[in-house]
A and B are shown apart, each in its own frame.
Chain A
């Protein structure tokens, strides 16, 4: 068993943690804004926007990757402009973060929207009669009361981000010691016939994701007591 982990490079694991971590934070901020705008809206436009926000969850990651290339590639709308500024997102770890962010955004958005909508509307109404602005209501009422659900969604998103493969491969490629994340390293090792390395990484990935999920459960359970 010791030989299994002896030659293992930690780089893909650390990169995956970094990509999933930064991606989750970015997705969380975007999701909070979108969920705040969309919460309790049922109009036709709101439904279309809701569908668009959820789409990355059901589309194949390669489709999302392709869209991102159209956007961020050398000849893409945004990619060309960024290239002029000397910013190159393709084949960089930042590119991998963008891929992860887009793929996990729906998980954080869905969780945030459900959590915000579960806050009793009367608290917001009373706050309004007490002179509170919408920003104050969001910061001091909605967010603290919805935090549990938002956190649960973020943890799930982080775990999902750890395993991102398709979109990352298309945007960031599979460059060892640069953009090779955990799941890409496993695929590489398996393809190259390095079964020991693949198995070691697989076990590590499993343990890591299990830890994230279990600590999420524990954290949310112990933190949320007394707030119902």
Chain B
């Protein structure tokens, strides 16, 4: 059960303000936050991970309160157990795939224990990139980096996984393939996944429920199945949006 409400007012350097007031409550295992860029999806995700401090609202994941403005609760991101994979994966550029994956399993000096090494190797193997254990991110392809980034996030055993525009950094041909592959890999893990995207195709792979964003608000929560039934997700989405405009 994911219960999130975030209120925040952000202003950029030009003094233009953006008001975020998004609320979602869902039992779905795979949730997609869908909307144009700048509609507040990524901000919702950052607030969930604890990287952004909202002025109001709450974040409750599986009954555990991570943030509550009224009760003055704000769990720090390091204790939230929320996996976060940013848009271009943000692998640590100076660490090998193995060290990246083992990061959550190492102590404060970053020294790799034998247990951590074994666990990280096993994770890399599950994502089929164990042959890259010693490679630096700069030596990997986009798809390989994505696999390592997922392995790194899952090593921390999160209770929720956040994917920020997971395929936008990949070239279009690779994108379609990775979508299918990552989906089936993540199905092996029984954790909820929240995906931010503006690509309708991502809904097919990562959405049981779709939250539609506009100007900082979620104006509709839709079941994904009917959208996918017709075969043309983009058209089905446009139709659904028109209904709300009327």
Contacts and interface: CB of A to CB of B under 8 A. Distances in A.
B237 interface: no
Contacts of B94: 144-145, 227
A125 interface: yes
Interface in B60-106: 76-84, 86, 90, 92-94, 103-104, 106
Contacts of A120: 90
Contacts of A133: 78, 108
Contact of B93 (A125, A129, A140, A145): A145
B43 to A, nearest CB: 13
Most buried by A among B50, B51, B155: B51
Contacts of B51: 125, 128-129
B84 A131 contact: no
A130 B153 contact: yes
A133 B92 CA distance: 16
A141 interface: yes
Contacts of B80: 129
B191 interface: no
A85 interface: no
Interface residues of A, number: 22
Interface string A8-22: 000000000000000
Contacts of A139: 108-110
Contact of B152 (A125, A130, A141, A228): A130
A127 B90 CA distance: 10
B232 interface: no
A226 interface: yes
Interface residues of B, number: 30
Contacts of B155: 130
Nearest to B87: A122
A228 B82 contact: no
Contacts of B119: none
Nearest to A136: B108
A132 B156 CA distance: 10
Contacts of A228: 93, 138
A141 B79 CA distance: 19
Given A136-B110, A139-B110, A140-B110, A130 B104 contact: yes
A210 interface: no
Nearest to A145: B94
Interface string A90-134: 000000000000000000000000000000101101111111110
B84 A129 contact: yes
B136 interface: yes
B49 interface: yes
Contacts of B49: 125, 129
A128 B93 contact: no
A85 B159 CA distance: 57
Contacts of A122: 86, 90
A129 B50 CA distance: 8
A129 B90 contact: no
A131 B90 contact: no
24 contacts: A122-B86, A125-B86, A127-B103, A128-B50, A128-B76, A128-B77, A129-B50, A129-B77, A129-B80, A130-B103, A130-B155, A131-B78, A132-B108, A136-B106, A136-B107, A136-B108, A140-B103, A140-B106, A140-B109, A141-B92, A144-B94, A227-B93, A227-B94, A228-B138
Q: What 7 pairs across the A-B complex have the smallest Cβ distances? A: A140-B110, A130-B104, A136-B108, A129-B84, A128-B77, A122-B90, A131-B78
Interface of B: 49-51, 76-84, 86, 90, 92-94, 103-104, 106-110, 136, 138, 152-153, 155-156
